[in-house]
Structure 1
Amino acid sequence: MLAFSKLTKSQASYLFSFGIVFIIYLISYIISPFTSNDTPFYTLIGRSILQDHVLPYKYIFDHKPFFSFVLYGVWDALMPIKTGMFTLLALCCAAGAATVASSIWKTNRFLVFFILITTGAAFKMLSGNTGVLQIFFQILVLYLLQYPSFLRIILSGVITAFAVNINYLTAECLSLPIIFLLYHNKKIIFNIFFFIFGVFSGLFILFSPYLYSDPLALIEYFQQQKQFLAAYSPSFTTRLFTVIKLFCYVLFFIPVLYVWVQQNIFQKQERIDPNSILLGLWFVSGLIASCISGYPFEYYYILWFFPITIMIAQIIKKPEKNFKWFFMPIAILTLFSVVDSTINNIIKYRNIHAIDYVKMASLTKGGSVLNIRALQTHFYMADLKNFDPYLFKEHIDIAFGSRAAAHYMHDLEQKPLSVLLPYQGCEIGAVEATVCHYLHENYQKIYEVKIVKLSGKIDHFSFELYKRKSGA
């Protein structure tokens, strides 16, 4: 209270205004069943694992590793209320990561948490995507390796195996910090041996359901990933754009990075704090991992953003002379991102609630639904049964390329009960003519939703639902 009493009227007014904006920002996440189109998709696969005991990718395919689906499936099973549950997951992971980080770098855990969920708006932190899961598991690994013992090193290896199987980028993101910690402590050979033992133990635990049920299915699991990722590889233009976008984001943090390096790396003392070296290496690894991804998805940038939040918290403990000017770019990024995220969340909330998912579930009850380039989140919201393992709207095009139409025709010949298309997909050429001809001959439209953006364009939440004609 004493600190607030020292604020000028102008400062208090700015603080109050930001407080209101922040509350609206938080509410915009909490009121929605999801804000990222990925999280409900992962949850569908997680449900099939936990409820139906179907291992990936016998029901729905995705190129993400196995453990990510398990986590979303478990979280879905634990949460009695689905609205806002992915944001709650993000808040829990961010709070846990901030708490563990504070014990390593002696920072204010609330400050790290607050920076994560506010400035983190630029990287869709509260959407609950895999980026926020990764940082929680990564910080656990670094914490365990701080004071290595037989059990801690093995456990860190187990958690590393789990973390890599949330997203393969974690391997790169943890590489430099783990190498530093294993070599920095005594008994290097001992450390490396038991860490590798822990990694293989973690992999064995994780994939034991495959080994128990069908070892050949495990081979197929990796073959499907390999084949899809070969087709999913980004073009040079996309990779270049990813690097440029990353560089633009990093520019906002250059003043803080400069101050942190001056305070912790180039300081005038005989020995640099090993934890400062660790934090710097973690940041560099995160940058490299974000570039390796090849795609400019914001949640990948969380991998290097989390180390920066710790750096910011450290600087605030011992502020520089021109303290506030160093944080001005971050304040601008935070304010813009919070407002932008709020607007996008409200629009998505409107779109979701424009659809009668109860009706959709009733119309498709008792049969499977083939998705032809419509938004996959409809399957989550209406609890639809999927027909083709490639449910994500772009996956069949990625996996089959020019043969996508032939694949859809093969599916239609198996007579799925219902088919989901983008709104006016046949009229605008989003669906091939051969597919449309067969569809119109054998199916009838039973429900459609048209959602128009402010620009006048059709929103991708719009769709058409067809049901097979009796006797067709």
Structure 2
Amino acid sequence: MIAILNRFFQGRLFALCLCLSLALYFASQFDVPLKDHDPLIYVLVGKGIYWHGLLPYGYAFDHKPLLVYIFYGLLSFLDVRFYVFQAVSAVLLVANALLVWRLYLHRSLALPLVLFVVATFSGGSVGYSGNSELLFVLFNLAAIHFALHSQDDRTRLLISAAAAVAAFNINYVCGVALFPALVFSLWVTSRSLSAFVTRLFAYGLACILLMAALFVVAFAAGMDVAQYFDLQRRFLTAYSAETTTPDKIYLAKLGILVAIGLLPLFPVFEPARRNAARALALLLLGSAVTLFLSGKFYPHYLYALAAPAATILLMVDYRSHARHALLGTFLTFVCLAYVAKFTAYLGSETYVMGDFLRPYRQISETVGAEKLMSMRAPIEPLYYSGATPFQPLVWKDHAYIIYGTGEDDYYRARLAQSPAFVMTDYGWCAGGGRDWISCKALADGYSRISHFEGDGGLQEGYDLYRRNAE
């Protein structure tokens, strides 16, 4: 029976089933134009780089490192009417699958199966939101692979260091998550303790020099490096004090991923793959540590663990018929779940892109080429309207996180600069219910010309004000 199942699981028909069910699941992701708001600010900061020549944070602010904006800024050239973030998620998942298939599996498994597993492990975490985890895990995996194959090869050692620096400059948590995995990788490929120490020192020096080179180039291009780090320091110091509490489902997902990370303790890998599996397990556990250190338990954070977990699972020795049959059976159930998800999608109400964009086009038509000041306003109206931000702190609570009780004074100072248009959260100042100096200044010098209440779900509301004629 197991032999019959394995012949099916290794056949083209099963590969076709995997591809079709994954395609159906991907199609079901177009129920809403936007899965997560975080990528919007990444694109906005990047738009300042590519469209206006303003390196962080001359155009807009977020606390992520430089390279995330270099990448996401490219998405600003795509029309917002397209489902940009679902598409880029699919591209990055394919890149992840190709990297694992080529570097870790040496093409030993069918590519459709690898893609299916990688995409499945993104579900329940980052999904097709386009978040930065989809990007930096590629560099995490590359850094470990090249470190594991860097014995007597300085070029691969340098490539590994460059990948680690890239990951770190997409998300700082990669520095902590990668450290134990990279140290282990250098240790197992060193012939002696002295060789290990030498290679570890060389690796660290390469990372420092590459980091320095990145910011020398940024400084030469006009970036205020001191302000860049100062704003991040001020933001992250305050932001780290805020914590969230994971629910039981989140903890269950975390437990499953950590359990997969423990597989290298058992003899289920070919000898040639054991060190790679152990290094990936250390990456997974290091990512779990960063998750708890951050005190934030957002769903997309789990993908930093899910990507190495998927790779570990794929690296198991499936020459055992029982293991291969178990994997195939699991994937069959996932296929059925994807078909069910698509069926539910067909029978559900979905956003129509034209209707979704209508309240934001009103902003674009009203504001034109003028700059738009954000005052506790949601990010999506600014992004989808294409308006130019008046000040860098455009995310809803960034001014509060950085200035605390001085947030009101911050907005009052911005209003004193007389922006032509101001956007607030819906009802933030309207009706005089908020005893803020900035709200009084807004009422004295501006008139509310339009508003959108939001839909109570994906779309948040806003109030749009125009400066009164003098």
TM-score after normalising by structure 2: 0.82
What corresponds to 2:376 in structure 1?
373
Q: How much does 1:313 deviate?
A: 2.6
Name the counterpart of 2:460. Answer: 461
The one-letter code sitting in structure 1 at the alignment partner of 2:140 is: Q
Q: What does residue 45 of structure 1 align with? A: 45
Query: What residue is the counterpart of 1:205 in the other structure?
Result: 213
Distance (Å, rounded) in 2 between the aligned partners of 1:390 and 1:144? 39
Relative distance call for 1:210 and 1:174 in structure 2 (3 A) is same
Please give the alpha-carbon distance, in whole angstroms, between the structure 2 residues aligned to 1:425 and 1:390. 17
Partner of 1:125: 127
1:429/1:402 CA distance change after superposition, 3 Å: farther
- How big is each residue's C-alpha offset from its partner over 1:230-279, in whole Å with a ceiling of 9 and x where there is no partner? 111134x63xx2497653212445775676643438x9x9x982222222
Q: For the Cα contact (< 8 Å) 1:141–1:156, is it kept in 2?
A: yes
Separation (CA, whole Å) in 2 of partners of 1:132 and 1:45: 19
Say which SS state the counterpart of residue 94 (structure 2) adopts: helix
Alignment match, 1:390:
393
Aligned to 2:99: 100
Q: Which residue of 1 aligns with 2:156?
A: 152
Matched, 1:164 2:168: yes
Q: Which residue of 2 aligns with 1:298?
A: 299
Residue 319 to residue 262, structure 1, CA distance change in 2 (3 Å): farther
- Residue 195 of structure 1 corresponds to 203
Q: CA deviation at 1:369?
A: 1.1
SS at match of 2:123: helix
The structure-2 alpha-carbon separation of the partners of 1:404 and 1:382, relative to structure 1 and needing over 3 Å to count, comes to same
Task: String of CA shifts for 1:331-390, please: whole Å, max 9, x gaps.
Answer: 5997699689969x9766669616343331120113211112221121121111111211
Letter in 2 for 1:65: P
Contact kept? 2:89, 2:129, Cα under 8 Å = yes
Alpha-carbon distance change, 463 to 337 in structure 1, aligned in 2, over 3 angstroms: farther
Mapped contact 2:121–2:306 kept (Cα < 8 A): no
- Could you tell me which residue of structure 1 aligns to residue 449 of structure 2? 446
1:308 and 2:315 aligned: no
Alignment of 1:351-362 (within 5 A): 353=356, 355-362=358-365
% same residue = 19
Over 3 Å counting, the alpha-carbon distance change for 1:309 and 1:124 in structure 2 is same
Evaluate the alpha carbon distance shift between residue 250 and residue 88 of structure 1 in structure 2; reply closer, same or farther with a 3 A threshold: same
- 1:426·1:436 contact (CA, 8 Å) conserved in 2? yes
Inter-CA distance 205–76: structure 2 relative to 1 (3 Å threshold): farther
What is the SS of the residue equivalent to 2:460?
coil
Deviation at 1:293, TM superposition (A): 2.4
Q: Report deviation, 1:197.
A: 3.3
Quote the offset at 1:155 in angstroms: 2.0
Question: Does the residue aligned with 2:67 lie in a helix, a strand or coil?
Answer: helix
| Residue aligned with 1:273, SS | helix
Q: How does 1:176-255 map to 2 (within 5 A)?
A: 176-186=180-190, 187-213=195-221, 217-235=224-242, 238=244, 241-242=245-246, 246-253=250-257
Distance 2:96 2:19 in 1: 23
Number of equivalent positions: 450
Residue number among 424, 429, 433 corresponding to 2:427 in the alignment? 424
Deviation at 1:168, TM superposition (A): 0.3
Deviates more, 1:303-312 or 1:115-124: 115-124
2:126–2:133 CA contact under 8 A, matched in 1: no
Q: RMSD across aligned C-alpha pairs, in angstroms?
A: 3.9
**What SS does the aligned partner of 1:175 have?**
helix
Q: Which ranges of structure 2 fall in alignment gaps of 5 or more residues?
A: none
Mean CA deviation greater in 319-328 or 193-202: 319-328
Residue 179 of structure 1 aligns with an amino acid whose one-letter code is V
Structure 2 counterpart of 1:141, one-letter code: A
CA separation in 2, counterparts of 1:231 and 1:333? 45
Q: Which moved more, 1:407-416 or 1:117-126?
A: 117-126
- Give the Cα–Cα distance (whole angstroms) in 1 for the partners of residues 24 and 435 of structure 2: 43
Kindly tell me: are residues 275 and 213 of structure 1, through their superposed partners in 2, closer, same or farther at Cα, counting changes over 3 Å? closer
2:148 partner SS: coil
Work out whether residues 111 and 313 of structure 1, in 8 Å CA contact, stay in contact via their aligned partners in 2: no
Deviation per residue, 1:112-163 (Å, 9 max, x gap): 3212323422112311111010111111112222321111111221221121
CA 81–420 in structure 1, closer or farther in 2 if over 3 Å, else same: closer
Residue 307 to residue 132, structure 1, CA distance change in 2 (3 Å): same
| CA distance in 1: counterparts of 2:349 and 2:206, whole angstroms | 44
What SS does structure 2 have at the residue aligned with 1:464? strand
Distance 1:223 1:361 in 2: 33
